[in-house]
Structure 1
Amino acid sequence: MIKAITFDLWNTLICVKDYTSLRIEHLVELLDKQNASPDEKVIRQVYFSIQGLWRPDSAGQYRFISVKERVEMILKKLGIEIKQGPKLAIVRDFEEVILKDPPSLLNGVKFTLESLYQKYPLGLVSDSGFAPGRILRKILQSLGVLKFFDCTVFSDEVGYNKPNSLMFNQALKLLKVQPKETIHVGDLLETDIAGAKLAGMLSIWIDQRKKRSNHKSFYP
C-alpha cells in the first residue's frame, strides 16, 4: 500500500533553465572590479570543466560540492587570487542569480500536487547544483507549491547528490514511511530511478527525452 510520494524537482515539477551565461556575465563583472578580467571564453571553458563534479568520487559516492568550493576551483584554474569578501560575493551571485529569472512550473503540476496532497504526504528530493535549498524553497514558495510538501530534501543540506540513497532515506525519515510504501517520481534514470531503487523505493520515470531528443540535463 502506497503511503507517500516523493518528487524530483527539475524537469519533473519545474522547467529546466540554463543560467550559465548569466553567471559567467556576472563573474566577469565582479572580476573586473578586482582588476582581474580573463577572457570570457576562457572563463566559460573553466566553468564547464567543473561539471564533472557530479560524477561519483573515488569511493563511489556522490558528494555534494558546495558553491564556495566550485568558485574556488574556478578561480584557481584561472590563476586568480582575490580576497574573501569579493569571493563570497561571487558565491552569493552564483547561488541567487536564479531569482532574477525564476523557472516556471511544468503544465499540470500545481493541479497534480494539490490533488495528491489531499491523499498522501508529499516530499521533494532534489539535487541543488549552484542553487541551494534555501533559494529553491523561495522559488517554490513564489510558485505557490511549497505548501504541498511535508518535507523538502536538497543535496547541499544532506551533503550528497542523487543517486546516493542518503537523499532518499532523509525524505523517508521525515515522512515517517518505509521505502516499499513510497513512490519516487523523476525524469532521470541515472539519479532519480537508480537512487530510489537503491533506497528500496518504488519509482515512476517521466521520460522527458521523448519530447526533446536534444535535451541536456542542466543543474541551476
Structure 2
Amino acid sequence: MDWFAYQINHIVISRIFLRIIWDLFFEAEIYSCDVGVAKPRPQIFQKVQSLLGISSTEIIHVGDSLEGDVIGALCANWQAVYLNRSVAIDGVKVDGFKFYSIINSLLQLPLVLENLNN
C-alpha cells in the first residue's frame, strides 16, 4: 500500500471510529439550517426539545460559541458544555446563577458528561 492510500484508509477508519463513539454519547444532532432558525434564538432550542420529546433538564448542549451555544442553552434551561479550544482552561464557570462546564478538547467530554449525570 502506498503512502497516499494508507493516509486515505487511516482517515476513513478514524471517521468511522469517531462516528461510533459519537453515537454512543449523543441521541441527536440537529442543525439550525434544518430547523430554519439560528442560535441563540430560543425557537431553535424549543424545536430541538420538542423533536426529542424530553424535558429541558434532560438535555446537555455542547458547543464552541459562548453566546450562541452556552448562553442560548442556559436560557432554554438546558445544561451546557463550552468547548473552548483557544484557551487551556477547564472547569466550571458561573453565568448569573447558572453553571456550565468548560473543556478545551472533546476528549474531556466523557468525564464531564459522567459528572453532570451524577
Which TM-score bucket, shorter chain as reference? 0.5 to 0.7
**Could you say if the C-alpha distance between residues 202 and 176 of structure 1 is closer, same or farther in structure 2, counting changes exceeding 3 Å?**
same
Matched residue, 2:28: 123
Larger Rg: 1
TM-score (norm 1): 0.30
Instruction: Tell me if 1:114 matches 2:23.
Output: yes
Which ranges in structure 1 are unaligned for 5 or more consecutive residues?
1-104, 125-151, 212-220
Structure 1 residue 188 displacement after superposition: 1.0
Please state how far the C-alpha of 1:111 moved relative to its aligned partner. 4.3
Q: 2:59 aligned with 1:182, yes or no?
A: yes
1 CA distance for matches of 2:63 and 2:18? 13
Instruction: Tell me the TM-score normalized by structure 2.
Output: 0.53
After superposition, give the CA deviation of every residue in 1:93-126 in whole Å (9 maximum; x if it has no partner).
xxxxxxxxxxxx88x7424313225xxxx122xx
1:50-93 Cα shifts (integer Å, max 9, x gaps): xxxxxxxxxxxxxxxxxxxxxxxxxxxxxxxxxxxxxxxxxxxx
**Cα offset for 1:208?**
1.5
Counterpart-to-counterpart distance in 2, 1:196 and 1:205: 10
Counting matched residue pairs gives 74
Deviation at 1:202, TM superposition (A): 0.4
Q: Give me the identity figure in percent.
A: 27
Greater RCO between the two (CA within 8 Å, min separation 6)? 1
More strand by share: 2
Structure-1 separation of matches of 2:18 and 2:84 = 16
Counterpart residue identity of residue 40, structure 2: P
Kept in 2, the 8 Å contact 1:184–1:192? The answer is: yes
The DSSP-based 3-state class of the residue aligned with 2:46 is helix
Q: Against the structure 1 CA distance between its residues 190 and 109, is the aligned structure 2 distance closer, same or farther, given a 3 Å change threshold?
A: farther
Using the TM superposition, give the Cα deviation of residue 197 of structure 1 relative to its aligned residue in structure 2, in angstroms: 0.9
CA distance in 1 between counterparts of 2:83 and 2:51 reads 24
Match status 1:209 vs 2:86: yes
Instruction: Call closer, same or farther: CA 1:167–1:109 in 2, change over 3 Å.
Output: farther
Question: Could you tell me how far 1:206 is from its partner in structure 2?
Answer: 1.1
